[in-house]
Structure 1
Amino acid sequence: MHRSSTCRRDAPRPRRTAKTASSRAAAALLASALTLTGCGSSNRHYKIPPQPVADGESPLSGRTATIGEVSYTAIGVRTRLGEVIGSHGSWIPHGRYVTVRILMVNNGRERHDFDPGRQLLVTADGRTYGPSTDAMQISRGVSGTQSIASRELCAFDLWFDVPRTAAVRALRVFGDPSSSLLGDQLKGAPVAGTRNPVDILLK
């Protein structure tokens, strides 16, 4: 199942009522959004529409990390992919493909960059694997550094080629720790207390 990246700008104003999520995928995405925006009354949160789960994907809930002013949530993972199929062809991995669907929310006043090529999949033995260029291209995935606008929500898949016997443990996220505060920008200082990278557990 091919799925493109999704980015949301200018989200609708929050409403006081919302339909109950009809699937685990919707519940996972909604829980992620609520986690990112903090706790409070229901009229202070956006109600994110249900999102379809890709074939073979397992939705994740509550797997969030923050770097600077951007929150990163792993909302789905596929671990048993023997092929990537695109509009003009397919490709077999050296081992097996793993995809991680990541949702990012920019909570700052400035744009922040995200480089898909820097992200790493961590396996149980401590080894790390970068995204598969072949799989990202064939699946029509994101390419090059992404600029996340202020208050933007953006989600897409990262494809990795790992050994068949490797057990997936975490996504190691390298983010943008820069601050929107003018004083920090003049000093070139990151948001106070920022750790970069951070690991988001996938199990």
Structure 2
Amino acid sequence: MTKKEEFIEIYRKEIHREGADKLLAWLEKTDFFTAPASTRYHGAYEGGLAEHSIHVFERLRALCGLESQGKAALKGPSVETMAVCGLLHDICKADFYAVEMRNRKNGQGQWEKYPFYVVNDQLPYGHGEKSVYIISGFMRLSREEAMAIRWHMGGFDEAVKGGSYALTGAYGEYPLALLTHLADMQATYLDETKEEQK
């Protein structure tokens, strides 16, 4: 099963709210399933974004205390909420990257061209807030889901460099926001490899 097929299988199984089918149809028209998760670091390869999104969903489900059979714990978000936050937190990266050719020396010391991912942001609306904006155009998010997706970058978000009372408030009021950030970090640093620097 490809990562695209796995993503779609989880999405269809877990996300049932109005508009979910339209959002998935939109995703399939973008490069979401072939895009990298980053330009040089985690998931910096074709399909890395879909793979990362699956990892975040799996990590979030584990952090929220769910069993592998998908039964909800006594407290905590629904599996649908975890699927929305995990699978869609980085939807802002759909149609976000482009490929350029660069030069490098190969093992024999000869110059060769190789493809390199670059950012080509056509909707410069931020990161987490851009994901919330895109999702909200198709289906409704709960406030908790919106907070979790908005703040999943934590202190790595350019908007909060140096600290943010809003980030602290979001994590204090909405535990799912902190758990989504932790799931994102676990997926990035424990499940995915950094592309070898050239």
Q: Is the shorter-chain TM-score for this pair beyond 0.5, marking a shared fold?
A: no
More strand by share: 1
User: In proportion to residue count, which structure has more helix?
Assistant: 2
